[in-house]
Structure 1
Amino acid sequence: MNQLSLLAFGAGGWGDEILRGLAVTLALALATFPVAIALSFAVHWARTASLAPVRLFGQAYATLFKSLPEILTLLILYYQAQAVLNWLAQRLSPGSDLSISPFIAGLVALSLVISAYGSEVVRAAMNAVGRGQFEAAAALGLPPMRAFQKVILPQLWRHALPGFGNLWVILLKDTSLVSVIALSDLTHVAVMAINTTREPFLFYLAIGVLYVALVTLSSRAQKALELRASRGFSATGAAHA
């Protein structure tokens, strides 16, 4: 019972700090995911572009960020970008100093990694839609952007939801990596609590329960979105009359 009091709110407990860490974790994931989805479409477009330099850049981007460990990407971005910014600041205004927020560094690093995998989700969804839908939209005289918005995207989203749902779960868990650059997420707060109380099992168990709850809720939300996106379609994928 004395151990459980360490999770209490107020003085003497770590409940307040854990809730703030949970808020940081959710804020980072929610801020990163839209950026990662937008980049996923951009990377897919680059990988399938007709211009060879653009296509090579897209392929190199996807290969690089799928190959590097996420924590290495984060550390390189945080520390090397910090050094580059300071070098530029010294050249532009001697004596000045610039710093990168750990939150922004985490957002950018995780967006780069998730979008590399997200481009594969977009590619698979595009293939599932089929080239015929693009040709049908063009036959109706729709401009490419309007055709994509009105014809392709609603169908593509239905096929992409499972893949993007899995990436959201991966992103939720990968936010724990930002603890290495001192962002006060769930994992960082747990480490501070453990260093103070010497109760590793209690705090790792507590944040483990929170992560399981987040993933469970996310999975249920994903199922609901998939059911909503599949309304009007048969099991074979054809639309009901």
Structure 2
Amino acid sequence: MTWLNSLSYGSGGWGDELLHGLGVTLALAIATFPFAVVLSFLIHWAKVSRFKALRLFGRAYTTVFKSLPEILTLLILYYQSQAIVSWVVEAIAPGSHLSISPFVAGMMSLAFVISAYGSEVVRGALNAVGKGQFEAASSLGLSPVHAFFKVILPQLWRHAIPGFGNLWVILLKDTSLVSVITLFELTHVASMAINTTRQPFLFFGLIAIIYVLLVTFSTRAQKQLEKRVSRGFTREENGDV
């Protein structure tokens, strides 16, 4: 059958390219997410800082990256970072050349967008924990840093996992946008296959199924993680009736 030949491995089909594209998609999402989570905390702390400059920066960061379409953020960062890096390298070492890879540009762009929303997840989780926990830790003689990592963070994750889980799903889907800067991820491979085979229904349908499976698996994993971190808490504390 024609569609089986199109999905076969080797020079006659696109099976190996699609598998490679799936690997790049997952690698991009997995590499971006921890970076985005760390940025989420930093941006939240900037927005509540006692320094006005940091507060203004945090608010401007959130406003800009929540307002711009993700694809526009990607294009601006990719092409502008190329120009800036080239200018810096030329100034330091004339005649040299250095470029930003599409993978790194995609990772940076997606992390900035996700962290803008993630900072709100952090804010909500900290409010759910309550200031009383900070005060209790302080009364025990813990420094703010030790109080956060030993007392607050273990409780914060229980409230933050649903929000960050949703952002992970959004990140998985947004990796498809990086195809516009020719990163060899799943959607870009499918587009190349369609241009060659003229079978859009086959390849777009296939990657649609793949994304549904990825999101379904991620959602189930999130539910299991939520149950695990909620052990030892009462049903009322977990929000159940």
Q: Which TM-score applies when normalising by structure 2?
A: 0.97
- Identity among equivalent positions (%) equals 68
Cross-structure match for 2:35: 35
Cross-structure match for 1:82: 82
Q: Deviation of residue 85 (structure 1)?
A: 1.2
Segments of 4+ moved more than 3 angstroms: none
Cross-structure match for 1:54: 54
Q: Deviation of residue 8 (structure 1)?
A: 1.5
1:73-130 deviation line (CA, Å, top 9, x unaligned): 1100100110111122222222222210100000111010000000000000000000
Structure 1: how far apart are the matches of 2:159 and 2:84? Answer: 41
1:179-213 deviation line (CA, Å, top 9, x unaligned): 00010000000000001101111000011111111
Q: Which TM-score applies when normalising by structure 1?
A: 0.97
Cross-structure match for 2:204: 204
Structure 2: how far apart are the matches of 1:237 and 1:138? Answer: 23
Structure 1: how far apart are the matches of 2:209 and 2:187? Answer: 12
- Give the partner amino acid of 1:171: L
Cross-structure match for 2:2: 2
Whether 2:118 is the aligned partner of 1:118: answer yes
Structure 1, unaligned stretches of length 5 or more? none
- 3-state DSSP of counterpart to 1:3: helix
Structure 2, unaligned stretches of length 5 or more? none
Cross-structure match for 1:188: 188
Q: How does 1:46-195 map to 2 (within 5 A)?
A: 46-195=46-195
1:210-231 deviation line (CA, Å, top 9, x unaligned): 1111001000100000000111
Cross-structure match for 2:225: 225
Structure 2: how far apart are the matches of 1:166 and 1:58? Answer: 22
Aligned CA RMSD, in angstroms, stands at 0.9
The total of aligned residue pairs comes to 238
- Give the partner amino acid of 2:144: P
Structure 2: how far apart are the matches of 1:204 and 1:15? Answer: 14
- Give the partner amino acid of 1:108: M
1:37-79 deviation line (CA, Å, top 9, x unaligned): 0000000000000111111111111111000111111100100
- 3-state DSSP of counterpart to 1:100: coil
1:135-194 deviation line (CA, Å, top 9, x unaligned): 000011111111111110011000000000000000000000110001000000000000
